[in-house]
Structure 1
């Protein structure tokens, strides 16, 4: 599509969650446009565990024994353990990640990316990190970061100036891949 026919991305500048959401969506588009394919395995695992939690809750609801008799087994053990696993995955694996990828097709790199972002409350500084999905791999590159004020990418009306943002994110990906020529 031509850039003139696209709908501009707009954020509520008074809402940091809205700003971060627009930037994160754009980062995902940029990374995918560079040949990286999104890895949904962790998301699928979380959905599977969530489905198990719902199944356990339904089992507890419709179990033939009365509530006090089945409470310890169903809710205390299984429900708490599954929720604990779900929280553990979020805390150890996901952290502030917005995108997990496989390596690009035809690439010599055997590891994908983990793209993370942070926009602290009451701050205008957006922090974007590109790291290897497998930091212990021999083909893992050094983690790179970009920290910049969101005011550099948005107009006063809350419209994202995509060209500027794309250049910054592409430069960060080039830095990660070691392809940037002029620093």
Structure 2
């Protein structure tokens, strides 16, 4: 009985493997993106959530406009101008939100501040692509502020996801970790080369 408890405790202490449904493209990309974020932040980069906060604020404004339009205390013929104003504001704020998504976010999965103690004045933008019906995962690390003096050229890694998953869909974290770390190192080396 004691041995069973010891075995159960040992297995509970082991880290649960990260597993994806290999038939689900979104599941694979989500798991890889989540792992990339974890690896980059473990290297001393702090996540910059300002853009996410702006998107959330715009979403709250859009929902508030919709709620005002829905629950305004006058009936339809009397509130026509108010509803038209709400519709116009709803469209404007949604357009602003879409412009932010298409111009700033693109395929980004993580924005960071520069690491503490670094002479670099810009953080990173980590983005990824996994085209539909393809097994080629592309990971790109670039400067968060391309116009900055300390901005360097982006580095990219393209590799088949079959290199990082077992046939059961378990992510081989050691191999994936090495590849992402090598890409971060290449970006840091690029910074040092150009100084």
**1:57 paired to 2:66:** yes
Q: State the secondary structure of the residue aligned to 2:125.
A: strand
Match of 2:27 among 18, 23, 30: 18
State whether residues 124 and 144 of structure 2, in contact with CA within 8 Å, keep that contact through their aligned partners in structure 1. Answer: yes
Q: Structure 2: any 5+ residue segments left out of the alignment?
A: 1-12
Correspondence for 1:41: 50
TM-superposed CA distance for 1:142, in Å, is 1.2
RMSD: 1.4
State whether residues 152 and 190 of structure 2, in contact with CA within 8 Å, keep that contact through their aligned partners in structure 1. Answer: no
The superposition leaves residues 42-89 of structure 1 with CA deviations (integer Å, 9 ceiling, x where unpaired) of 0000000000011111111122333351221111x1000000001110
Q: Hey, what's the Cα distance between the residues in 2 that align with 1:16 and 1:74?
A: 38
**1:73 paired to 2:82:** no
Q: Hey, what's the Cα distance between the residues in 2 that align with 1:40 and 1:169?
A: 22
Correspondence for 1:138: 149
TM-score by length of 1: 0.93
Q: How many residues align?
A: 176
Correspondence for 1:90: 101
Q: Hey, what's the Cα distance between the residues in 2 that align with 1:100 and 1:151?
A: 27
Q: Hey, what's the Cα distance between the residues in 2 that align with 1:74 and 1:120?
A: 38
State whether residues 141 and 177 of structure 1, in contact with CA within 8 Å, keep that contact through their aligned partners in structure 2. Answer: no
Q: Hey, what's the Cα distance between the residues in 1 that align with 2:97 and 2:188?
A: 32
Q: Hey, what's the Cα distance between the residues in 2 that align with 1:135 and 1:175?
A: 17
Q: From the CA coordinates, give the structure whose radius of gyration is larger.
A: 2
TM-superposed CA distance for 1:179, in Å, is 6.8
**1:121 paired to 2:132:** yes
TM-score by length of 2: 0.87
Match of 2:182 among 132, 146, 171: 171
State whether residues 101 and 112 of structure 1, in contact with CA within 8 Å, keep that contact through their aligned partners in structure 2. Answer: yes
